[in-house]
């Protein structure tokens, strides 16, 4: 109960405003990725295959995304990373599945409403997975906390998403293979951003 209270307090503090250095989180994310690029690439190949089907993508994307954050967290604390570490996210499969279903539904409805609301919701929910995995928060509360956290500086989080979108677009241009590099890098950067704003125990 104390942990939930603490994270709610941290999100409340973040909602009052913060400054995020895009350059810094890009550098930190890159440093995390370059320490174990091979294992990140292998995991990304498995992820791309799993997400290639719409149904499996809907069911598995929550845990698969969280796997990147688990690996980045281990690397940050100088712990070895092996492929099974990524899949530890499936220990919380049900809440991550519920989270992904809720996010997908809201974002999809937002995209129907002239696209911009969907983009707005997607940015607001960027950090929801962290609250479920690292703070054991239920999916609906994780969405609320992520939205509150992002509201503290929506402009910089939007800019970060645009930068990462551009990086992944360039990865797609490289015969599509480049995405195996840019995708894990992007998740490492998102991890670095969350850790910078809220912190992870």
The 10s digit of each residue's pLDDT in 40-61 is 999 999 988 888 888 888 899 9
Where exactly are the structural domains of the chain? 20-197
CA distance 54 to 157: 27
pLDDT at residue 148, as a whole number: 95
Kindly state the average pLDDT of the residues 125-131.
97
Consecutive H or E run containing 55: helix 54-76
Per-residue pLDDT tens over the stretch 76-98: 999 999 999 999 999 999 999 99
> Are the C-beta atoms of residues 17 and 152 closer than 8 Å to each other?
yes
């Amino acid at each position: 109960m104390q942990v939930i209270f603490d994270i709610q307090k941290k999100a409340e503090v973040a909602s009052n405003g913060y400054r995020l250095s895009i350059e810094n989180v890009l550098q930190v994310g890159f440093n995390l990725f370059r320490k174990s690029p091979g294992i990140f690439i292998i995991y990304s190949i498995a992820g791309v295959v799993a997400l290639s089907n719409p149904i499996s993508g809907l069911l598995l994307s929550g845990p698969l995304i969280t796997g990147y954050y688990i690996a980045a967290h281990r690397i940050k604390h100088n712990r070895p990373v092996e492929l099974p570490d990524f899949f530890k996210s499936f220990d919380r499969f049900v809440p991550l599945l519920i989270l992904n279903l809720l996010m997908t539904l809201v974002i999809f409805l937002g995209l129907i409403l002239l696209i911009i609301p969907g983009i707005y919701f997607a940015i607001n929910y960027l950090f929801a997975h962290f609250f479920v995995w690292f703070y054991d928060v239920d999916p609906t509360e994780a969405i609320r906390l992520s939205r509150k956290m992002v509201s503290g500086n929506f402009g910089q989080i939007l800019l970060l998403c645009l930068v990462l979108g551009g990086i992944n677009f360039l990865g797609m241009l490289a015969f599509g293979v480049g995405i195996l590099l840019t995708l894990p890098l992007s998740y490492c950067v998102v991890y670095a951003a969350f850790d910078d704003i809220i912190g992870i125990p």
